[in-house]
Each structure stands twice: as C-alpha cells, then as structure tokens.
C-alpha cells in the first residue's frame, strides 16, 4: 500500500459540555508500529481547534498490542477489560484500557488512555466511547496495520 494513500483512523467524540475526546490511530513513519494519540476536548465543537493536542497522550503500539486488541474485540461481551501497560523511556508509564459496556441498553466499548510522567504523580487520562460501527473500523485498521508492520504486502 502506497504511504501517500494511507489515512489515519480517527474517532471524534466532541460534545456540547466540552468534555469530549478524540482517538487517532496512525502507522509509524518507518512502518514498524502504530501510534495511538488521544486528546481531550477543551473548546466548543464549532471551534477551529476543539481538542487539546498540545497535551495529547501518545502510545506506541507494536504487533503484540495490536494482536491483543484484535483478540479482545473478537470476544462476545467480554466480562473484563483489556489492560496494556508501557513504560516510557524517560520514566513514568502509559496505560490503555479497552472495555465492553452496556449503557441504557446500547452496547459499546470504552477506551481509556493514561500517562503518568513520574511515580506518585496523578495520571493524565483521556477516555473515548467507541461504538460498534467504530469497533469494526478498528478491526479492519488493526489487521491492515499488522500487514504493513510485518511487511506482508
């Protein structure tokens, strides 16, 4: 697949309370990983920049992470959340929690990404609700990302 034709997977969840969020999944520049970038909403939806990209959380996802996410998304109503942890090279850690939930009779998933810069410090968190249609989008994207990362063209 030609790099120029690739698009990111973006799930935008802005709201009128300015408490929304966004998750973006991008293939790394060297085709060796996928990056998850999450940012909280900090301005109204009609603002030119409704998300706080300056304080976004970035997590590098490798083959193992993508396979764990794909396996979790294949489960029917998983009873426990999938939790992935990464230690940052400069200290601190990052976590991803992906969980299935049912809210007001509607099935969906919830993605929470956190970053704790130093031990003992409160973690910065961003949570993004993920609809079933968006889960299908992620499944397709994760499978294609693995093909690119593993050079299985």
**Can you give the CATH number for the domain in which 142 is found?**
2.30.31.10
Is the alpha carbon torsion for 48, 50, 54, 58 positive or negative?
negative
Mean pLDDT of 108-116: 95
pLDDT value for 4: 64
**Domain region containing 120:** 3-149
What's the rounded Cα separation, in Å, for the pair 145 and 62?
Answer: 10
- The number of folded domains in the chain is 1
pLDDT value for 6: 80
Residues near 14 by Cβ (< 8 Å), separated by ≥ 6? 20, 22, 41, 45, 50, 51
What's the rounded Cα separation, in Å, for the pair 79 and 65?
Answer: 19
Residue 1 has pLDDT above 70, yes or no: no
What's the rounded Cα separation, in Å, for the pair 77 and 82?
Answer: 12
Mean pLDDT of 125-146: 95
pLDDT value for 59: 95
pLDDT value for 123: 82
pLDDT one-digit tens code per residue, 67-103: 999 999 999 889 999 999 998 777 789 999 999 998 8
Is the alpha carbon torsion for 142, 145, 151, 153 positive or negative?
positive
pLDDT one-digit tens code per residue, 15-65: 999 999 999 999 999 999 999 999 999 999 999 999 999 999 999 999 999
Q: Are residues 57 and 23 in contact, defined by beta-carbon separation less than 8 angstroms?
A: no
More confident residue, 151 or 118: 151
* Residue 106 binned pLDDT confidence (cut-offs 50, 70, 90): confident
Residue 147 has pLDDT above 60, yes or no: yes
Give strand pairing partners of 36: 25, 59
pLDDT value for 39: 97
């Amino acid at each position: 697949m030609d790099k120029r034709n690739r698009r990111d997977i973006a799930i935008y969840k802005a709201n009128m309370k300015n408490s929304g969020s966004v998750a973006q999944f991008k293939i790394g520049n060297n085709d060796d990983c996928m990056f998850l970038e999450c940012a909280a909403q900090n301005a109204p939806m009609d603002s030119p920049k409704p998300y706080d990209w300056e304080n976004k959380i970035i997590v590098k996802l490798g083959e193992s992470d993508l396979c764990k996410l794909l396996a979790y998304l294949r489960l029917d109503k998983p009873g426990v959340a999938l939790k992935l942890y990464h230690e940052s090279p400069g200290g601190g850690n990052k976590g991803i929690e992906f969980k299935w939930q049912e809210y007001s009779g509607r099935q969906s998933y919830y993605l929470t990404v956190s970053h704790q810069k130093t031990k003992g410090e409160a973690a910065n968190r961003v949570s993004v609700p993920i609809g079933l249609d968006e889960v299908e989008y992620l499944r397709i994207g994760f499978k294609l990302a693995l093909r690119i990362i593993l050079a299985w063209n």
